[in-house]
Structure 1
Amino acid sequence: MSNMNIGRVHGLVLALSLAISACGGSSDSEHTFSLSANQAPSISLNGDASVQITVGSSYSDPGASAADGEDGDLSGSIRVDSTLDSDRAGSYRITYTVTDSAGASVSVTRTVEVVADSESPPIVTDPGDPEGPVVTDPGDPEVRVITHPGAPLTLSDLETLKAYVDQGKQPWKSGFDLLAGDGKARLTYNMQGPREKVSRAPHENLWPWRNDMVAIWNLSRMWYFTQDDRYAMKAREILLTWATTQTEFSGRESMLDLGDYAYMFVGGAEILRGTWPGWTEADTATVKKYFNDVLIPASAPYGEIQYGAANKGALSLVSLGLMAIYNDDIELLNKVVYQVRTLAHIGLRSSNDIGMLGDYLRDQGHAHGQLRALVMLAEALWKQGIDVYSDFDNRLLAAGEYYARVNELVPTEALPFGTTDAYYLADYTNRGWRAAGGGNLPLNQIYGAYVLRKGLQAPFIAQRRLWMPVDGNSFMFLKDTDTSKAAPGPELPIPSTTSITSGFSGIDLGGATPAGKATYHAGLGVWIVEGAGTGTWSTNDSSYFAYKAITGDSAIVAKVESVEYTHQSAQAGVMMRTSLETGAPRALMTVSATGGRAQQNMPKLQVYGGTNYGNKSFEVASSTASYWLKLERIGNVITGYVSPDGTNWAATDVGRINAPVPDTIYVGLVVSSLNNGTLNSSTFSNVEITGGDGDALIVTPAAPAALLASPGNGAVPLRWQASFGATGYTVNRSTSSGGPYTTVASGVKDRSYTDTSVTNGTTYYYTVTASNSAGTSDSSPEDSATPVRSLVNVAAGGTANDSADEPTNASRAFDKNSRTDWFYSGVSGWLQYDLGHTEVVQRYALTSSRHQDARDPKEWQFQGSNDGSTWTTLDTQSNQVFAERFEVKTYTVASPASYRYYRLNITANNGDSASTALGEFGLFASKPQ
């Protein structure tokens, strides 16, 4: 049945959206059936019958669709049985079974092959949180009164959405229609749980929990949109049944599911609590207890600060943050705000100036997972009056633009970057990723946050929004206006550094001999450190250490210029330690004499993943024994970083100091010859430390490593990677690649600038230089952009029709939602729109449907008319091919004129013998800005 297509008029459209994901994404699939009375139930797979994934990766199952001639849609009654364990290689089966009211059952099965991969998930244990964990005080509470509903939607959001749906405003109405068609949004949905225990990795009762959490979200929304109490009653029943039954959510990856589904189960609970009169204070107390006792502990199962890298930790934070809001837990919420703003391996600081997040060079699916989690949390915080969107020069805007740009296949500079999972030297990812609706949830939220609220431009997100489908979830986060306000958080306690030329003390640790020393050479601006010892790796602690004792938060930065070859593993780098006793808890970041690799080591610190994460060697972007290293202490957390340039810092090691946590620790430079009895002489430049003297030689900064230009409307937004030691930047522009350039801005203090002195339609080429009192750098790499005037899609408020005289079908091409489509029986025919008034259409755009590419239009005439009878051909196209589903092709009208009616007269499709399909037909005209 999955390949049968009888047509829209006499068919029954069935859709099942499971919205299942470990690190982001959902999968919707639609099949069309023609059903006659009294036939047995039919069931078919959504998606492929055989799937292959790697060990440890997430699997988003598209599910199945079912129907019966007597009972109608049975998709919500499908029972799912799965043996899948994505953490173990093997062949697994997912079986979908449906039974009709007469007792007849049918099943289909999907095979999932889990194949071995070099990366395996950590098996982590934690002896428990430190006694009286020391986390730097985030200051006065950022939240004093929590708004309900507000995680992640407010009452104002819901009121606007309902008004748009009631008015039939697109694409909100088509998004709602997709929600209403989901089996888990219906009163006939059969609860899959509850279970006392749920586990992920290993999986146990995971699918019943997932399905019911989606149902809570869907049914609560259906209550609000329809005001039918039955939906709220069913959502309440499912939520409270789980809340009073489940006592455990375990497994190595519990936080991943909780983070993925938090906006659903918390969002549904918030809607019920904040809008349904039948909800009681006792219900609220029951759900709070469920969150507090079961789900919040499972969101951070390894203890204080023990978060997995990048997307994993971000998912922990969004889960904790949304549940803290529901639970009115101001202490937990302030802690989440503090951590998302300070933890450099999972939060907003897991990024660089051009917008790369920690997982961006891993693969685009995990990149989306990290972005979605951070943005969903930022949105929920905004609703509580906290603006983290503005942090780090609008970093989430940069992250969204970088993600959209890469996946729109625009050539984009990638810098070495990474996480505590891995350090990546280049981009070998699956650019052009279109799963999860193209990233429609986070990108729509970013657009609302920055374009609508803050008046900034997001050109690549806007470009992607032209085709991104609107589904039964994403329409909830679509906005066309937003005047809400929030305030930035308090100043962050990130320790600063200044250069140091004197004041280091020295000690030979672990029997290192002969005695070492550290000498500053003012003329060269370098430290030369000599040390012996047997090594600093693992439990070894034998080296020379040049240090300062620093109380409170602190950091040290250094570039290792060279390491003398006294042994192939001789080491030089930076170290922090809790005492000067041999074997004390400590953190080190070093490079070795053979070059090309860095080492990190955190003996006796509590590290997520244990020694496999805390102590490892990895490749860096240097063939010599030279790289930038950094250590940072904030509270009881020490973070180790590497960088190719001194500004693009990737947090690759994070450890927690267990109690008792000293106020004062020892911070400095370390050298070990690994040939005790022989001194190793290593050279460090650009050494900076908290509380330094600032007397070092100032040198001209290096050129910014990357520059990205974006094609705005009457503007070109620019972002670049900072240069170490720079105090200002100059933006240079040319209309020819390679110059000559003229200066358009100087003395820029930030790492971004928007050039508004441009003309739409002209291509501009940019470079940036960095400067300080010593001089000006060479130019950054060049990037270009062509600003364009934004035209408005005027195909709204009118009437659609087609050559089969099916206006409802035709209207799906004009609902601003590529997820729905005009599905036409025939290989040629016309599709038209009556605006109800005249417009001068300058461009038109066609978006391919989700159907087979053979159904795409291939040849057509674009026509205009003022009476609907006499047509003027404005454009003719032939041999058109859409390479992607939901691909947008835009065509310029050579001689635009004023018409009321516009028509696409299709004369051939791309080979299907029966049908033609089109996702969207846009008519674009110039309107006042």
Structure 2
Amino acid sequence: MRRTPLLATVTALVLGAVLAQPAAQRAAAAPAVFVHPGVTVSQSQLDFARGKVNAGAQPWKGAFDRMMASRYADQNHTPKPRAVVECGSYSNPNNGCTDEREDAIAAYTNALAWYITRDERYARKAIQLMDAWSAVIRDHTNSNAPLQTGWAGSSWPKAAEIIKHTYGGGWASSGRFATMLRDVYLPEIINGSNSNGNWELAMMEAAVGISVFLEDRASYDKAMAKFRTRTAAYVYLTSDGALPKTVPSQNLDTRDKIVKYWQGQSTFVNGLTQETCRDFTHTGYGIASIAHVAETSRIQGQDLYGTDVGERLRHALGFQATYEQGAAVPSWLCGGSLHLGLGPVTEVGYNALHNRLGFAMTNTQALTERTRPAGTDNLFVAWETLTHGDNPA
């Protein structure tokens, strides 16, 4: 599918108009009225997926079956909340880290199962999981606390949005859950991170999602501004110039510092990410968060896919997909050796950029279709063939 000349012209005009806006105007991203459910997946997208599953259509039925066969949909799953979740580097120590992430994914899984089946058991299970944690947790500690908070905090509001705004059976403790997000999660993530780029992208994904659930316009705007800056510093475009953009607070003010931060990579091409030469798994985390925030922003009325965010996402997907599928690695790229394993992260961006905007994305399409139905990374990405696969809503 080729991008039409008219669509290319319209997209260019939109991009030019957005970039021409004063910085203060661009920073005001929150909608006048928040859309619910509106974190990564909208009600119209859920309705599309539900219709396809109920009709037995593929790949949605297969994606749903995979979700329902997973441990996250198990009705015997018992939540394991902790007052303090302690996560060191690479989750060592792991005091509640895996439990928290997986309970949050389970809540989202059950919320999706509720919406598609209308079986109230799944809504009640999602509520049980959210209530268990909101009654107990008060802090995240150790070196990975910001990242852990970002990962779990990305899944919780997706579950909460579906339950609060589509389940009529009542959720008595939704206010306590909101307080948990506001007092325990948001302060840990809203000011960002100067670590590897996937950290801040995940943190801003969580902050944006939490802000939607809380209808917190100031936090939404702050998180979105940090997201825009970090995305520009995470994915390189040739239009950036000889060197990648940087996050000002990191003081990467020389070529040597930038090259070191980019894992020793000194040749920059469209779609290369700050972590490509680290490994594709961490790169996939960053790509997933970029897509998730762009999708949430679109649902809330500001379509970032027509800006540099979409352009960076498109090139990042295509570049990584090329090598994930086995293309020979040139000697100038990461010393001629890559650590693959991108993960189930292509559906949201591919659907928005290829299906909606009409960009030809041959390598991304091939990888997406080959790996369907997408499952979960067991951290914060889950069931995106079901929710976003070829979804026109």
Gaps of 5+ in 2: 1-22, 238-269, 376-382
**Which of 171, 177, 180 matches 1:290?**
180
Contact 2:192 2:200 survives alignment (8 Å): no
Which whole-Å CA distance do the structure 1 matches of 2:224 and 2:27 have between them?
A: 12
Aligned length: 326
Q: Pick from 96, 109, 122: which aligns with 1:205?
A: 96
Partner of 2:343: 439
Distance 1:409 1:391 in 2: 30
2:121 pairs with 1:230? yes
Task: Tell me, in whole angstroms, the C-alpha distance in 1 between the residues paired with 2:316 and 2:332.
Answer: 14
1:481 CA displacement:
4.4
SS at match of 2:140: strand
Question: C-alpha root-mean-square deviation of aligned residues, in Å?
Answer: 2.2
Q: Does 1:406 pair with 2:310?
A: no
Q: CA deviation at 1:439?
A: 3.2
Cα distance between partner residues in 2 of 1:207 and 1:465: 27
Secondary structure of 1:349's match?
helix
Paired residue for 1:429, among 304, 328, 338? 338
- The C-alpha deviation readout for 1:288-321, integer Å capped at 9, x for no partner, is 1110111112225xxx454322111211111111
Q: 1:478 aligns with which of 381, 384, 388?
A: 388
SS of the aligned residue for 2:41 comes to coil
Equivalent residue letter for 1:350: Y
Question: Partners in 1 of 2:279 and 2:224 — Cα distance?
Answer: 27
Paired residues for 1:330-349 under 5 Å: 330-342=217-229, 346-349=230-233
Amino acid at match of 2:337: Y
- Match in the other structure for 1:455: 358
* CA displacement 1:24-73 (0-9 Å, x = unmatched): xxxxxxxxxxxxxxxxxxxxxxxxxxxxxxxxxxxxxxxxxxxxxxxxxx
- Distance change in 2, residues 1:199/1:137 (3 Å): farther
Cα deviation for residue 251 of structure 1 reads: 1.9
Letter in 2 for 1:172: W
Take 1:267 and 1:351, find their aligned partners in 2: how far apart are those partners?
26
Of 277, 287, 293, 1:377 maps to 293
Q: Distance in 1 between matches of 2:124 and 2:282?
A: 36
How far apart in 2 are the matches of 1:355 and 1:213? 31
Q: Deviations over 1:44-103 (max 9, x none)?
A: xxxxxxxxxxxxxxxxxxxxxxxxxxxxxxxxxxxxxxxxxxxxxxxxxxxxxxxxxxxx
- In 1, distance between residues paired with 2:68 and 2:145? 30
Which residue of structure 1 lines up, in the alignment, with residue 203 of structure 2?
Answer: 316
The answer to whether structure 1 residue 176 and structure 2 residue 64 are counterparts is yes
> Which residue of structure 1 lines up, in the alignment, with residue 135 of structure 2?
244
Match of 2:47 among 154, 159, 178: 159
The one-letter code matched in structure 1 to 2:181 is F
More helix by share: 2
Distance 1:239 1:375, change over 3 A: same
**1:351 corresponds to:** 235
| Aligned residue type for 1:320 | A
Matched, 1:396 2:287: no
1:660-679 to 2 correspondence within 5 Å? none
Tell me the secondary structure at the aligned position of residue 215 of structure 2. coil
Cα gap change, 1:285 to 1:359, in 2 (>3 Å): same
Residue 411 of structure 1 and its aligned partner are, at CA, apart by: 4.0
| Cα pair distance change 1:412/1:207, threshold 3 Å | closer
Q: Contact 1:255/1:298 (CA < 8 Å) preserved in 2? A: yes
In the alignment, the residues of structure 2 paired with residue 410 and residue 426 of structure 1 have an alpha-carbon distance, to the nearest angstrom, of 15
Answer whether contact 1:262 1:319 (CA < 8 A) is retained. yes
Instruction: Label 1:347 to 1:471 Cα distance change in 2 as closer, same or farther (>3 A).
Output: closer
CA deviation map 1:891-912 (0-9, x unaligned): xxxxxxxxxxxxxxxxxxxxxx
- Quote how far apart the aligned CAs of 1:255 are: 2.5
1:152-176 CA-to-partner distances (Å, cap 9, x unmatched) read 1111011111111100001111111
What is the Cα deviation at residue 139 of structure 1? 5.0
Task: Find the aligned partners of 1:375 and 1:328 in 2 and give their Cα distance.
Answer: 21
Superposed, 1:517-532 pairs within 5 Å as none
Contact (CA 8 Å) 1:194, 1:209: kept in 2 or not? yes
Amino acid aligned to 1:376: H
Q: Distance in 2 between matches of 1:250 and 1:390?
A: 38
Q: Structure 1's 223 and 182: CA in aligned 2 closer, same or farther, altered over 3 A? A: same
CA contact (8 A) 1:197 1:247 kept: yes
> Matched residue of 1:456: which SS?
coil
Please give the secondary structure, in 2, of the residue aligned with 1:440.
coil
Cα shift readout 1:612-659 (whole Å, capped 9, x = no counterpart): xxxxxxxxxxxxxxxxxxxxxxxxxxxxxxxxxxxxxxxxxxxxxxxx
Letter in 2 for 1:176: F
Q: How many Å apart are 1:227 and its aligned residue?
A: 0.9
Tell me the residue number matched to 1:518.
Answer: none
Residue identity matched to 2:343: G
Q: Are residue 469 (structure 1) and residue 385 (structure 2) matched?
A: no
Secondary structure in 1 aligned to 2:370? coil
2:336 and 2:145 map into 1 onto residues whose CA distance is 29
Query: Per the alignment, do residues 482 and 348 of structure 1 end up closer, same or farther by CA in structure 2, a change over 3 Å counting?
Result: farther
Distance in 2, Cα, partners of 1:138 & 1:254: 32
Within 2, Cα distance between the matches of 1:185 and 1:219?
A: 6
Please say if residues 266 and 323 of structure 1, whose CA atoms lie closer than 8 Å, have aligned partners that are also in contact.
yes
Distance 1:218 1:299, change over 3 A: same
Task: Please give the alpha-carbon distance, in whole angstroms, between the structure 2 residues aligned to 1:240 and 1:336.
Answer: 26
How far has the Cα of 1:457 moved from its partner? Answer: 0.8
Aligned twin of 1:273 = 164
Q: Call closer, same or farther: CA 1:246–1:480 in 2, change over 3 Å.
A: same
- Which of these two proteins has the greater Rg computed from alpha carbons? 1
Greater fraction strand = 1
2:303 to 384, 387, 392: 387
Q: Does structure 2 conserve the Cα–Cα contact (< 8 Å) formed by 1:307 and 1:316?
A: no
8 Å CA contact 2:85, 2:96 repeated in 1: yes
Percent identity between matched residues is 21
Quote the offset at 1:413 in angstroms. Answer: 6.0
Tell me the amino acid that sits aligned with residue 390 of structure 2: D
2:232 is paired with a residue of what secondary structure? coil
| 1:633-644 paired onto structure 2 within 5 Å | none
- Could you list the per-position Cα deviations for residues 521-547 of structure 1 after superposition, in whole angstroms to 9, with x for gaps in the alignment? xxxxxxxxxxxxxxxxxxxxxxxxxxx
What residue number does 2:258 align with?
A: none
Distance 1:293 1:329 in 2: 13
Contact 1:179–1:471, Cα closer than 8 Å, also in 2: no
Q: Say if 1:216 and 1:235, in contact at 8 Å, map to a contact too.
A: yes
Q: 1:427 to 1:383 in 2, by over 3 A?
A: farther
CA contact (8 A) 1:405 1:412 kept: no
**Cα separation, 2, equivalents of 1:224 and 1:238:** 17
> What's the CA shift for 1:148?
0.8
Task: Please give the TM-score of this superposition, normalised by the length of structure 1.
Answer: 0.34
Partner residue of 1:220 out of 96, 107, 111: 111
**Aligned CA distance change for structure 1 residues 140 and 468 (closer, same or farther; 3 Å):** closer
User: Cα 1:242–1:173, aligned 2, differ >3 Å: closer, same or farther?
Assistant: same
For the residue of structure 2 that corresponds to 1:249, the secondary structure is strand
Question: With structure 2 as the length reference, what TM-score do the two structures score?
Answer: 0.77
1:147 alignment partner, SS class: coil
8 Å CA contact 1:363–1:429 kept in 2: the answer is yes
CA distance in 2, matches of 1:233, 1:462: 37
Counterpart code for 1:223 = W
Distance 1:465 1:209 in 2: 29
Distance 1:403 1:315, change over 3 A: same
Inter-CA distance 285–446: structure 2 relative to 1 (3 Å threshold): same
CA contact (8 A) 1:348 1:395 kept: yes
Question: CA distance change for structure 1 residues 150 and 446 in 2, over 3 Å: closer, same or farther?
Answer: same
Preserved contact between residue 187 and residue 234 of structure 1 (Cα < 8 Å): yes
